Chain A
Amino acid sequence: MNKIQRVWVAAAAIVIAVSWMATAAWKADFTPSTYNPGVGEAVSFAVCASCLSSETYTYRWDWNGDGVVDLETRDPVATHAYATAGYYEAELVIVAGTGLRDTCRKGILVGAVPAFAVRDVLAQDDGTLLVVVTVRTVDAIPGGLGFEERVPQGWQVSLEETAGTMLSGIESQSRTVYAQWAAVDAGAEMVFTYRLSMYAGYAASAMQLSGELRGYVGGVRFVATICGATRLPS
């Protein structure tokens, strides 16, 4: 190992250490009152209080994830109504009095859909991540319901709970988790879980999850972007 490489490794170690210190103290998180509001429906966004320490924080909200802060407040609860149907990623930036900041981003699907899915990413003690995709139907889905989710590079995927799917698995080439249920009744809830483990010594290049829930109702296809957490914690 030459000198330059050694310096680089040392620098990387410092960055990781600083980052850990920042998140170890507190982290930004929030929960919307619903992930599938109707158009114009007021959604209440509550900052996760238990995730924070006793400092004073400023909360900066970007409702559509376009990088523009739509609301800056010290109130841990904010409300927003989306005027147009569609998929939005609401972003919360919490700035501590120390100047440290943390960001949280969650998908919201506005407008009526026959079914929708919410993703939750749970860090486990063993360092793996448990991704929980909860699928809820609004209407009966006689033409089958399924989702397809892309996993960023650097993660090893294993299925934990397939929740009664007729077809589920991992397509390794495109790093896609897929799941398909046959006809599903209205008001059903399926909790599909898979685990991500980082390959040893492999730095993940992207930390974003994205997926679509798709189904056929009366021969007509609908697509619902999977809501909820979209980023993997560092």
Chain B
Amino acid sequence: MRTTTRTARGVPLAVLLLFVFFLATASAAASAEGTIQLYQTVDPSQIYVAGMGQSPETAGVTLVVQGVGATGERFPVDCMLVLDSSATAELAEAKLFALDFVDRLGPSDRVGVVSFAGTARIVVPLGASKGEAKTAIGGLAAGDKSALGTALELARRELAQMSRPEATLLIVLLADGQSNVGSDPRVEGEIAGGTGIRITCIGVGTLVNRSLLEGLAGMTGGVFAPRPSESALQLAIEHAFVGVAASEVVVEKRIPAGLAWVGSTPSASHVRVEQHGTTTARWALGEVRLGQEVRIEIRLRATESGILLTDEGSTATYKDFRGMEQRIDVAAARLNVVMPNRAPEAGFDLEPAAPTTADPMEFRDASHDADGDETVVGWVWTFGDGATSDEKNPVHRFDKSGTYTITLVVIDDRGLASKPIEGRVTVGNAPPTAGFAILDAGTLTAVAQPRIGVEVVLDASASYDLDGRIVAYEWDFESDGVIDVATDSPDVPWTFIGPLDYDVTLHVTDDQGGKAALQRTIVAVTSVRANRSIETCLPDDRTIPGAVVTVTLALRANTTLNGLAVSETLPAGWAFRSVETDGATLRQSGTTMEWLFVEKFTGTGADSQREIRYTLTAPTAAPKADSEPVSIRGAVSSSSPRLLQTIIGDDRITVEKYLAVPVVISRWNAETSAIDLCLRELITFDQIQYAVSLWLSGAAVPYTNNAKVDLATLNDLIAYWLTGSSVHDPLP
């Protein structure tokens, strides 16, 4: 519990300091006034905005009203005794009463004496000893007239000048109330009442002006007794001794907007909520005695956060111990209202949804904090495989296939952690990756191309599995779907025997059953290169019945060959004639021709090359169809190294039943009057002359489907001739 000082949300510091200074000044003034002090405490000093589920939601503000101003049970008395020594008053009665009164005063009280008859004078000034006062009182002599007003004035002035601030101011008037000299006693009475001086009037003598004395007592808050009796003395003393520090105390508190009224003890006589949210509450506390503490406990709750000041404009009004009306401000209490922190809610997305062990997974935070944006400051990821991360958006790859539970807890900027949220992901097996190389069987170094007939090692150790190991290697050397070799070892010896191109497929299987395949086209290097070229003298290896076709077999050994055999299977019905055997022995067996080289070939130089040439004459019988293709198949073979290899190159001849007129004309040998397919594709003037003769005679062009040279055809032929264009090309 502590006393709060005023402060205000949003008020600049300079203003705040000024205000604190003002509070201190006001507090000092209240103390000088001297009769009550206000203390205000707040407990607790920090609460949460109400309705947010966070405790405490209310704060108690305790206002303590304390009676102060003097030590002891009553205030000291500064008293002027005013004695009427005029002819009409009973001076002896008055002296007696005055002496008794002085005797009853306490040590802290002070007394002075004024006597009046025709004139008034201060017999004993305020502050003299009681003995002096009593002696002076005893020595008073009677006079004639009554300067009552003047005496009151003297007493009032003496009190005004000489009294103590903490003392009750009192004039005890012992008089009959007759006044015929000097100032008006009623006026003096009013002045005294206005400065906190009470006048106690005690009638002495036989003709007491009761109305005047009662009036003086009434207008100053004093008491009146018609006779200086014992009871009158008692009354005067009781009245002189004041223990009430403040009376008619009214506290009015203002509670600013943002704070709401809950209740108070004691209950307020009046509670009102203003339109702008300010709450005003009032308590009428009555009297507060010296040393008494009156507590007002109120309970407030907050509707908004911030540092809130209570009691701006709050006041306490009262009448002080002298009966003077006073007003003091109620010091502000400071209340820190906090918006309660709510726990953040964790959330996340992940991608891909169906990962494999090869995929780095991206986890994206999707957490939310109800207290605002950017307030989540901590992330605790556990991935279920022992790995953790404190990144916001971590990337994680699972090494093993399986189902994992990922947990995320987020922490906000006030250290509050969310409930953990879980997500599950099933991670599939990453398939292996197939790879292989071809190694020389002797040196085990990589070779780009295997040689036909020479053993190599196919090495699949370039294959790998990210999340396990490869357990099976299967080779399909022709990619025909038939596994040629299956092994658990990556190395396989193999000899390619021909043809040249292989689509080799390697299938690998990992320990979790994942499969991968790699197909590579392997172009083997031939041990011998055998190429067939067919020359028919017409494009696309076309020819006509009865025409001669030249076939050339170019052989080139790329390595040492100990003997080489060449065989060609020719189309039936075609007449074979050998043109060049290049040293081979030729044997005919039906439609198969066999050449045998009984010699050693070297891989380079002149000994590496041979050329076989032969002609084929197409059957003279017209083909059944307009175009009749025939094939030539051949192979080369050797026993050392052992190889059997298809002869590549041209392998098809198409026999055409008819040729086009320009083709016939361009191949027409005018001198022999016969077709010669190997003439140039260009028409000569001689051939134009032949075409003109055909045009003129209307005869059919030979080797055509009974075609005639008409004017348009002749035009075409002349154009071919004049432009020097090939008859196989469109006319320019």
Contact = CB atoms under 8 A, between A and B. Distances in A.
A180 interface: yes
A178 B685 contact: yes
Prevailing SS type, chain B contact patch: helix
B670 A219 contact: no
A183 interface: yes
B697 interface: yes
B632 to A, nearest CB: 37
B696 A143 contact: yes
A216 interface: yes
A223 B685 CA distance: 13
A210 interface: no
Contact of A167 (B673, B690, B692): B692
A183 B688 contact: no
Given A167-B718, A219-B699, A144 B692 contact: yes
B689 A214 contact: yes
A34 interface: no
Contact of B689 (A142, A146, A183): A146
Contacts of A221: 670-671, 673, 689-690, 693
A219 B697 contact: yes
A150 to B, nearest CB: 11
Interface string B693-732: 1011101000000000000000000100010100000000
A24 B685 CA distance: 39
A144 B713 CA distance: 16
A46 interface: no
Contact of B696 (A167, A169, A183, A220): A183
Contacts of B688: 167, 180
Contacts of B686: 148, 214
Given A167-B718, A221-B673, A221-B690, A173 B696 contact: no
Given A167-B718, A171-B685, A173-B724, A180 B696 contact: no
B687 to A, nearest CB: 11
Interface string A152-167: 0000000000000011
B685 A176 contact: yes
A192 B671 CA distance: 25
A148 B697 contact: no
Nearest to A183: B696
A38 interface: no
Given A173-B724, A176-B685, A214-B686, A182 B697 contact: no
Residues of B in contact with A, size category: 10 to 19
A49 B297 CA distance: 169
Contacts of B696: 142-144, 182-183, 216
B697 A146 contact: no
B685 A216 contact: no
A54 B695 CA distance: 57
Interface in A207-224: 214-216, 219-221, 223
A143 B724 contact: no
Nearest to A176: B685
Contacts of A220: 673
Main secondary structure of the interface of A (DSSP, over half): strand
A225 B127 CA distance: 181
A138 to B, nearest CB: 17
A166 B691 CA distance: 13
A127 B595 CA distance: 69
Contacts of A216: 689-690, 692-693, 696-697
A169 B718 CA distance: 12
B692 A143 contact: yes
Given A167-B718, A221-B670, A221-B690, A143 B685 contact: no
Contacts of A146: 685, 689, 692
* Residue with the highest number of chain A CB atoms closer than 10 Å, among B686, B692, B699: B692
Contacts of B699: 219
B696 to A, nearest CB: 5
A220 B689 CA distance: 12
A143 B718 contact: no
B209 to A, nearest CB: 171
Contacts of A219: 693, 697, 699
B183 to A, nearest CB: 162
Interface in B574-593: none
A171 B688 CA distance: 13
Contacts of A223: 671
Given A167-B718, A221-B670, A221-B673, A180 B689 contact: yes
Nearest to B699: A219
Interface string B83-112: 000000000000000000000000000000
A173 B725 CA distance: 13
Interface in A176-193: 176, 178, 180, 182-183
A169 B722 CA distance: 10
Listed residue (B686, B688, B689) with the most chain A CB atoms within 10 angstroms of its CB: B689
A182 B724 contact: no
Nearest to A143: B693
B692 A142 contact: no
Given A173-B724, A180-B688, 7 more contacts: A143-B697, A144-B695, A176-B685, A178-B685, A214-B686, A219-B693, A221-B690
Interface of A: 142-144, 146, 148, 166-167, 169, 171, 173, 176, 178, 180, 182-183, 214-216, 219-221, 223
27 contacts: A142-B696, A143-B692, A143-B696, A144-B692, A144-B693, A144-B695, A148-B685, A167-B688, A167-B692, A171-B722, A173-B724, A176-B685, A180-B689, A183-B696, A214-B686, A214-B689, A215-B689, A215-B693, A216-B693, A216-B696, A219-B697, A219-B699, A220-B673, A221-B673, A221-B689, A221-B690, A221-B693
Sort A-B residue pairs by CB-CB distance and give the 3 closest, nearest first.
A216-B693, A143-B693, A144-B692
